[in-house]
Amino acid sequence: MATKYIRNFSIIAHIDHGKSTLADRLLERTGTVSQREMEEQVLDTMDLERERGITIKAQSARLVYDAKDGHQYTLNLIDTPGHVDFNYEVSRSLAACEGALLIVDATQGVEAQTLANVYLALEHDLEIIPIINKIDLPSADPERVRREIEDVIGLDAENAILVSAKTGQGIDDVLEAIVRYIPAPEEAPQKPLRALIFDSHFDAYKGAIANIRIMEGTLRAGQKIRMMATGKEFEVIETGVFLPQMHKVAALECGSVGYLAAGMKNVRDCRVGDTVTTATHSAQTPLPGYRKAVPMVYCGLYPLETNEYDALRDALEKLHLNDAALLFEPETSTALGFGFRCGFLGLLHMDVIRERLEREYGLSLITTAPSVNYHVYCTDGTMVTVDNPSLMPDMSKIERIEEPLVKTSIIVPKDMVGTVMEISQNRRGQYVTMDYLDETRVSLVYNLPLCEILYDYFDTLKSATRGYASVDYALNGYQVSPMVKMDILINGETVDALSVIVHREFAARRGRALVEKLRGLIPRQLFQIPIQAAVGNKIIARENVAALRKDVLAKCYGGDISRKRKLLEKQKAGKKRMKQFGTVEIPQEAFMAVLKVE
């Protein structure tokens, strides 16, 4: 197939504006997936994705379309993950395209992720086709949204396509627009091979599979290839395309999108963003834009039952095969025993991995509060990175600490600006800009410490604005801050897994709120349990868990044995997710309590 009949495109949108639904309609209309096979939202496959309504792992599909000009076109739809945690993956997917469909919900208008995605698409010089979706809804206001796309984004929206991805109205216009407005890939079949890896996954039979876009040259099975960033070499066993399931083809020509299998043991052998070239007659330079995925959020994962440690390691290794961004290494806690320190791209990524470990691998876990990565400059001139609060060096050895910042964009109705400002400033946010999108809505930009975002920032913002706030954020460097380690002592002993790093000025307030919260979470015993918060040697807050007045079984003595058994069983069930610490039991909620204190 000549490159002039190929179109490579992505769909970009704010969450819930209809990306997956539109993709399904395109698959259906081109007969790629028959109506009978059409399960709702074919492109969102993982159970978790369906439940959460977001694409976590992108998928691609090749559509064959007979256009009105009488020619048959190959349309490669490259799906993108729908969450800010995966922005780097989004940018690599866009780099594999010549164009993008920009979907805006006709009842909502431009939102924070609409803008973030448009900026990414513009960075890659993509042809952007504006689409106004959900026009079947009574509250749709396509004219207002059209103006907003022009005023806020600066795109010509005169020809924006009006669509209902639900009913299928306007889908043919979308297909025609893809053919007409998105440029064909450049023709460079004679050049040495350069293929961009924009995604990867692990297949039980074929090993790691790289999703690739051939930018220059041709790729066929049997060729020897080299990954330019890692320098690793492999022999190509299979090339293929996505229908959307994997389908073997003899070769991938210049401009096309597909996959390669090369007996790679691990997705880290084919890193997203890396360039594939041939081992001989190699390309001189890799394609631009490669970077290694860096975790932003860390936490400890511990098996509730010590004998599940090996099962947890095996499960993490399996997930790791498929997820180059997930990091883990063994760690030991005096409170929790043997477990793993894990690194994630963001909070959602962390939640997804944790849920998969529990659901798919049947593990019961204790999770410690998430932490960010601090740059700790010591008085001896060295710098250490600290992602586990309990490993923070002694304050006397620290010269300064730098914490990661994120640039956060928030779009809200204008009467909620005050609320957003208050919430952001309470979390040490620095105001950057404020712009009116139209008469009713405002876009605010704050620079926030990443660690403050972990303190329930998004949920607080969402509930305070009754769900109206739309948010996007991206890492934005480091700043020096007076951070201190706050320890929690239970029954006089430091529980390492409860230590947190806080801003010095927040320590007293958060310490008091935290011990108060813990008092309510830690089960009472026959003796009084003191709970203290300390910075260095200084106790900054204290509460007591009062002693139980009498044994729960006391009233059963001499009584009915079955009632006694029932009580014991009830106690046992209540013990789920408790970790024994000396004579005290600490429930899972205690490790997360710090995130819920103001």
| Contacting positions for ligand GDP (CB under 6 A) | 13, 15-21, 53, 82, 133-134, 136-137, 164-166
Residue 486 interacts with which of ligand GDP, Mg ion, none, CB < 5 to 8 Å by class = none
| 27 and 37 Cβ atoms separated by less than 8 Å | no
Pick the closest to residue 217 from 276, 159, 171, 262 (CA basis).
Answer: 276
- Give the shortest CB-43-to-Mg ion separation in angstroms: 7
Locate 346 and state its tokens. 């963001």
Distance of CA 12 to the CA centre of its chain: 16
- The CA-atom distances, in angstroms, between 64 and each of 61, 67, 75, 95, 330 are 10, 9, 6, 22, 48
SS3 at position 597: coil
The CA distance from 259 to 268, in Å, is 16
Which residues participate in the annotated binding site for GTP?
A: 16-21, 133-136
Amino acid type, 291:
R
Residue 585 interacts with which of Mg ion, ligand GDP, none, CB < 5 to 8 Å by class = none
The nearer residue to ligand GDP, 148 or 452, going by C-beta atoms, is 148
- Give the shortest CB-39-to-Mg ion separation in angstroms: 14
Distance of CA 553 to the CA centre of its chain: 48
Residue 341 interacts with which of Mg ion, ligand GDP, none, CB < 5 to 8 Å by class = none
Answer positive or negative: Cα dihedral of 250, 251, 252, 258: positive
Residue 137 interacts with which of Mg ion, ligand GDP, none, CB < 5 to 8 Å by class = ligand GDP
Answer positive or negative: Cα dihedral of 548, 551, 555, 560: positive
The nearer residue to ligand GDP, 133 or 491, going by C-beta atoms, is 133
Q: Print burial letters for 143-173: b (CB count within 10 Å at least 16), e (below 16).
A: eebbebbeebbebebeebbbbbbeeeebbee
The nearer residue to Mg ion, 12 or 597, going by C-beta atoms, is 12
- Give the shortest CB-105-to-Mg ion separation in angstroms: 13
The nearer residue to Mg ion, 14 or 268, going by C-beta atoms, is 14
Q: How many CA atoms lie within 13 A of 365 on its CB side?
A: 30
DSSP one-letter string for 295-345:
--EEEEEEESSGGGHHHHHHHHHHHHHH-TT-EEEEEEETTTEEEEEEEES
The nearer residue to Mg ion, 20 or 87, going by C-beta atoms, is 20
- Give the shortest CB-287-to-ligand GDP separation in angstroms: 28
The nearer residue to ligand GDP, 157 or 500, going by C-beta atoms, is 157
Pick the closest to residue 522 from 455, 581, 568 (CA basis).
Answer: 581
Q: How many CA atoms lie within 13 A of 366 on its CB side?
A: 29
| 350 and 327 Cβ atoms separated by less than 8 Å | no
- Give the shortest CB-142-to-ligand GDP separation in angstroms: 12
The nearer residue to ligand GDP, 162 or 311, going by C-beta atoms, is 162
- Give the shortest CB-303-to-ligand GDP separation in angstroms: 34
The nearer residue to Mg ion, 13 or 513, going by C-beta atoms, is 13
Locate 203 and state its tokens. 């297949």
| 82 and 117 Cβ atoms separated by less than 8 Å | no
Residue 21 interacts with which of ligand GDP, Mg ion, none, CB < 5 to 8 Å by class = ligand GDP
CB-nearest residue to Mg ion: 20
- Give the shortest CB-53-to-ligand GDP separation in angstroms: 5
Residues that bind Mg ion (CB under 5 A): 19-20, 55
- Give the shortest CB-265-to-ligand GDP separation in angstroms: 33
SS3 at position 456: coil
Which residues participate in the annotated binding site?
A: 16-21, 133-136
